[in-house]
Amino acid sequence: MSRPTLLALQILVAVVCIVLWQVLSTVPVFGKILLPPFFFSNPLDVFSQIVKWFSSGVIWKHLGITLTESILAFVIGSTGGVLVGFWFARQPLVAAVFDPYVKMVNALPRVVLAPIFALWLGLGIWSKVALGVTLVFFIVFFNVYQGVKEVSRTVLDNGRMLGMSERQLMQHVYWPSALSWMFSSLHTSVGFAVVGAVVGEYLGSAAGLGYLIQQAEGVFDVAGVFAGMFVLSAFVILIDYGVTLVERRLLVWRPTASDGRG
């Protein structure tokens, strides 16, 4: 299928959905409105709400807060994950001792930590960052741990035979291998950083996209809830696109599935 056709079909899906939504929420079918506006609002209202947010400029502050929280959560969580992952992989004893605890903490649904973080760190951005960090950390940690442990035996032996010292092996073999695993989970970890931020805001805050949605919900403003959801989706798609660009730059050396050769 050619690109324009595909794009046309993709847009068609959106148009059909929005038109159906608009029609079903405003025009009675057999004397009954199938999507009551109180519960479902309608696309026009949602759209005008979004326009109002952007034209008045209030949305920028919330977007900025959520973005800051996501970035901080990602950076802190990744750094911690890389360092601990590296340490555990190089010290099997440490890894063995901490193994059950790591599993236990990772098994915990992170949302229940939100109230604790709110208590400890207040309603500002840091309680949201902390929630995001607990999500990002484990993804990066497991990937880096795996990456260091699964360095190809042959590549390692080759490094040794070429005369690499332990430090050089670290720099030229373990480190790039671990980073490549970390980058392969980049989409997931960035996504989780945003999840942490938004869920944290939703559960208690004074600003951010999650706060916006929660406020709208509190006054039964369904158009506001949907508007918040759409802005959030667009926000995540933009970030994800950014991640794709970074990835393409950093992982040029990696074969992609579409490559003919293995």
Partner 1 sequence: MSTPTAVALEDAKVAFRLGDGRVYTAVEKAHLAVAQGEFVAIVGPTGCGKSTLLNVAAGLLKPAAGSVKIFDRPLAGLNRDAGYLFQADALFPWKTALDNVAIGLEIQGTSRAEALPRAQKWLTSVGLGAFGGRYPHMLSGGQRKRVALAQVLIRDPKILLMDEPFGPLDAQTRQVMGNLLLDLWNADRKAVLFVTHDLEEAIALADRVVIMSAGPSSRIIGDWRVSLPRPRDIFEVRLDKEFHALHREIWSVLKDEVMKGYAQSTQAAEAV
Residue 164 in the binding site for partner 1 (CB under 8 A): yes
User: Residue 186: which of 145, 244, 232 has the closest Cα?
Assistant: 244
Contact range with partner 1 by CB under 8 A, out of 4-12, 38-46, 64-72, 247-255? 247-255
Among 65, 125, 173, 239, binds partner 1 (CB under 8 A): 173
- In single-letter form, the type of residue at position 151 comes to V
DSSP string, 163-208: T--HHHHIIIIIHHHHHHHHHHTHHHHHHHHHHHHHHHHHHS-SSS
Residue 255 in the binding site for partner 1 (CB under 8 A): yes
Task: Give me 59's structure tokens.
Answer: 């949305």
Q: Rounded to an integer, what is the distance from CA 18 to the centroid of its chain? A: 26
Taking the least distance from each CB to partner 1, the nearer of 124 and 159 is 159
Contact range with partner 1 by CB under 8 A, out of 35-43, 68-76, 170-178, 224-232? 170-178
Taking the least distance from each CB to partner 1, the nearer of 61 and 254 is 254
Taking the least distance from each CB to partner 1, the nearer of 134 and 177 is 177
User: Residue 74: which of 126, 137, 138, 141 has the closest Cα?
Assistant: 137
Smallest distance, Å, CB 162 to partner 1?
A: 5
Taking the least distance from each CB to partner 1, the nearer of 219 and 252 is 252
Query: What is the chain's Cα-based Rg?
Result: 23
Among 10, 55, 91, 168, binds partner 1 (CB under 8 A): 168
Task: Give me 106's structure tokens.
Answer: 């990772």
Contact range with partner 1 by CB under 8 A, out of 27-35, 116-124, 158-166, 204-212? 158-166
Smallest distance, Å, CB 176 to partner 1?
A: 4
Among 10, 26, 91, 158, binds partner 1 (CB under 8 A): 158
Do 183 and 247 contact (CB within 8 A), yes or no?
yes
Counted residue by residue, the chain has a size of 262
Contact range with partner 1 by CB under 8 A, out of 16-24, 53-61, 166-174, 204-212? 166-174
* Nearest-angstrom CA–CA distance, 16 and 74: 37
* Nearest-angstrom CA–CA distance, 95 and 78: 18
Residue 246 in the binding site for partner 1 (CB under 8 A): no
The residues that touch partner 1, with contacts defined as CB under 8 A, are 152, 154-155, 157-164, 168, 172-173, 176-177, 180, 252-255, 259, 261-262
